[in-house]
Each structure stands twice: as structure tokens, then as C-alpha cells.
């Protein structure tokens, strides 16, 4: 487990070709990513294992799956503790600096709901 920022820890699970990787990210209550987390060069998928993930705009409860397209960005933060599984595809894609947050067209699913 590696501390990325105060209160935010990363546990690598897998690293593939072209920069693709999967991690578990743990957030202490009140922790905030200090800058924009830009999804590049590929998309990012997040599964909220426990707690509530906040992308700077919306809350996502445990059991939610989020797909964020390449070039989108967010500023993750937590009011309560949370644990997320995150993977990033290492594909090349254009980055557009004016695409704030996880776009409304992104796919989110709560897999814990019947």
C-alpha cells in the first residue's frame, strides 16, 4: 500500500501493457485529491466497494460502477471513508482540457440493487 496524498492510499492489483492498470484506492474521511485526475491516455473504470465516492460533482454509493471516457476528469473527495477499485485503460485518446467532471453520458450502475 502506497500513500499517494494525505489520507489517500493505493494498492496495485495488476499492471498490463501500454500503461493499463488496476488498483484499490482507499480514502480517509475528509480526504481530497489535490488536483484534477485526468483520465489519460485511456478511460477509467471505478467500482465503489464501500463508502461513498464523490467525483467533485456527485455522490456514488457502494456498489456503483462508473465508466469515465478518456480525456474526462474529476477531483475525487470523501466526506466519509471509501474504498474503490479503479482500472485505467492504456489506450491512446485525445485529451480535451475543457471536459469537466465525469460526463453525464458515462455509464454508472449500482450492482448491489436488485
What domains are defined for the chain? 2-92 (2.60.120.10)
Is it the case that residue 48 has pLDDT exceeding 60?
Answer: yes
Is the pTM here over 0.85, yes or no?
no
Q: Residue 3's pLDDT is what?
A: 94
Percent residues over pLDDT 70 in the chain: 76
Residue 86 cell numbers, joined: 479503479
Confidence class of residue 7 from pLDDT cuts 50, 70 and 90? very high
DSSP conformation class of 108: E
Compute the mean pLDDT over every residue in the chain, rounded to the nearest whole number: 76
- Residues 14-45 as b/e (b if ≥16 CB within 10 A, e otherwise) read eeeeeeeeebbbbbeeebbbeeebbbbbbbbb
Confidence class of residue 6 from pLDDT cuts 50, 70 and 90? very high
Confidence class of residue 90 from pLDDT cuts 50, 70 and 90? low
Amino acid at each position: 500500500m502506497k500513500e499517494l496524498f494525505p489520507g489517500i492510499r493505493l494498492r496495485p492489483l495488476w499492471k498490463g501493457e501500454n500503461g493499463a492498470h488496476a488498483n484499490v484506492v482507499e480514502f480517509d474521511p475528509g480526504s481530497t485529491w489535490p488536483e484534477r485526475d485526468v483520465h489519460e491516455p485511456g478511460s477509467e473504470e471505478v467500482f465503489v466497494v464501500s463508502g461513498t465516492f464523490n467525483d467533485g460533482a456527485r455522490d456514488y454509493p457502494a456498489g456503483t460502477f462508473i465508466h469515465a471516457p478518456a480525456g474526462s476528469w474529476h477531483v475525487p473527495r470523501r466526506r466519509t471513508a471509501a474504498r474503490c477499485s479503479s482500472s485505467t485503460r492504456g489506450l491512446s485518446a485525445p485529451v480535451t482540457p475543457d471536459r469537466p467532471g465525469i460526463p453525464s453520458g458515462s455509464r454508472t450502475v449500482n450492482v448491489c440493487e436488485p
